[in-house]
Structure 1
Amino acid sequence: MSKNIIITGTSRGIGKELALLFAQNDYCVLALSRTVSPDLLQNKNITCLEVDLTKEAELERVKHFLTDTWHDVDAVIHNAGALVNKPFENITLQDFEYVYRVNVFGVAGLTQIVLPFMKKGSHVVTISSMGGIQGSMKFPGLAAYSSSKGAVITLSELLAEEYKEHGIAFNVLALGAVQTEMLEEAFPNYKAPLNALEMAQYIYDFTLTGNKYYNGKVLQVSATTP
């Protein structure tokens, strides 16, 4: 029986490449993003839902899909992310709220919806950032983004403890520099050593096998800093 994989942030970059990788290997993919990538629409193994993770009513659409169609979920990859790059004194409360609603509350809200459909052996993978690692190098302008990525690491560690008796694993991949549109927003003109597909291949493998070896762990996947 084919496994069911939920991936957020699939309109571009790593998320889009992940959706295509799983689909090419005959997994069923639920691709969640605010805008749908045309590259995903034609794939018979991918179901695309336009969902804003910050809106509770739209998250309910995911619940309805799972109730009516899939009935179970084998893995979730929390890949969606929001970034604001401004000097701290210029970051508004609205900026902070937006970043946290996507990067933290969206992760929490979707996880709450999906957990009843997960069984022993399921895996929840959250994509964080090296900027969220305590003691790592920090960069000006990323106060909202990096602090939110730190918050989601702690959330994952807590959920791993809370759901360990259910056999559901929670792990975090803290990524370093990957050549994506988001990297360009954070570090204009910087060229990363890895592209989106290369990182997607690592995340693909980790999602399928990492829960055999890890639970409640944060793996630093970083060849360079930033």
Structure 2
Amino acid sequence: MKNVIITGTSRGIGFELAQLFAKNNYQVLALSRNSKPLNKLNLKNISTISVDLLSEEDLKKVTSFVSENWKSVDILINNAGKLISKPFNKLSTKDFLEVYQVNVFAVAELTNKILPFLSKRSHVVNISSIGGIQGSMKFPGLAAYSSSKGALLTLTEVLAEEYKDEQISFNALALGAVQTEMLEEAFPGYKAPVSAKEMASYIYNFAINGHKFQNGKIIQVSSTTP
């Protein structure tokens, strides 16, 4: 059985992804602050750890689990994200820092911790946003969120170059609107064209097969233009 780590699994895309991998005979380590939603399902193949991705002590729990139980990681999906929606003149440095800590710094730190367990043909998938793509449609109030997702895209490209000799693949999916709790909180009443379950299915297939064809690539996954 192959091993996959997924962050942000308490709801939305991450919640659906963890179930999909587990039901398809993957060993899943699901990381989120709230492990109760997945634990209630009592699915085999899923191990949960309640973590704050900004906590060094909590990240040690993750590496200890992998070291003691798996030894290797085939897929890492950095799905956890934070969104603050405020007019730019209301955004504080604290707001920017909170968003970047989750969307950029925590991704870098967890990836760094998991690197010793990655090997040839391992695939790291970073979940970004179409809002981080230059030239894409932008929305007022998302200066911190969209710019952090742009930083994540660049980080993905750099890591792919840095670890290409080890044949560890890094790709990013820049998602458009998906009907999740996070979207509802940012845009109350807005109905996205894609459900969390539908997007999870896309990410699942890409995580398994995408690195056979792509490395260091930013894939736009959006039904809207530009």
TM interval, shorter chain, is over 0.9
Q: SS state of the match for residue 89, structure 1?
A: helix
CA distance in 1, matches of 2:160, 2:38: 34
1:98-156 deviations in whole A, cap 9, x for unaligned? Answer: 11110000100000011100110000000000000011111110011000000000000
CA distance in 2, matches of 1:184, 1:120: 39
CA distance in 1, matches of 2:214, 2:34: 33
Q: Does 1:28 align with 2:49?
A: no
Q: Which amino acid aligns with 1:55?
A: S
CA distance in 2, matches of 1:55, 1:191: 34
Do the aligned residues in 2 keep the contact of 1:172 with 1:217 (CA within 8 Å)?
yes
1:191-220 deviations in whole A, cap 9, x for unaligned? Answer: 111100000000000000000000000000
Equivalent position of 2:199 in the other structure: 199
For structure 1, which runs of at least 5 residues remain unmatched after alignment? none
Equivalent position of 2:223 in the other structure: 223
Q: TM-score, normalised by structure 2?
A: 0.97
Do the aligned residues in 1 keep the contact of 2:123 with 2:170 (CA within 8 Å)?
yes
Q: Which amino acid aligns with 1:13?
A: G
CA distance in 2, matches of 1:223, 1:182: 19
Deviation at 1:12, TM superposition (A): 0.1
Deviation at 1:225, TM superposition (A): 5.9
Aligned in 2, Cα 1:101/1:157: closer, same or farther, shift over 3 Å?
A: same
Deviation at 1:172, TM superposition (A): 0.3
Q: TM-score, normalised by structure 1?
A: 0.97
Q: SS state of the match for residue 47, structure 2?
A: strand
For structure 2, which runs of at least 5 residues remain unmatched after alignment? none
CA distance in 2, matches of 1:20, 1:40: 11
Equivalent position of 1:77 in the other structure: 77
Q: SS state of the match for residue 52, structure 2?
A: coil
Please identify, of 37-46 and 180-189, the stretch whose mean Cα deviation from structure 2 is larger.
Answer: 37-46
Equivalent position of 2:179 in the other structure: 179
CA distance in 1, matches of 2:39, 2:198: 18
Q: Which amino acid aligns with 1:115?
A: L
Alignment of 1:1-226 (within 5 A): 2-41=1-40, 42-224=42-224
Do the aligned residues in 1 keep the contact of 2:7 with 2:77 (CA within 8 Å)?
yes
Q: Which amino acid aligns with 2:98?
A: Y
Do the aligned residues in 1 keep the contact of 2:136 with 2:225 (CA within 8 Å)?
no
Large movers: runs of 4+ above 4 Å:
none
Q: SS state of the match for residue 108, structure 1?
A: helix
Q: SS state of the match for residue 30, structure 2?
A: strand
Deviation at 1:224, TM superposition (A): 2.4
Q: SS state of the match for residue 166, structure 1?
A: coil
Q: SS state of the match for residue 5, structure 1?
A: strand
Instruction: Provide the alpha-carbon RMSD of the alignment.
Output: 1.1
- The number of aligned residues is 225
CA distance in 2, matches of 1:218, 1:63: 28
1:68-109 deviations in whole A, cap 9, x for unaligned? Answer: 111100000000000000011111111111111100001000
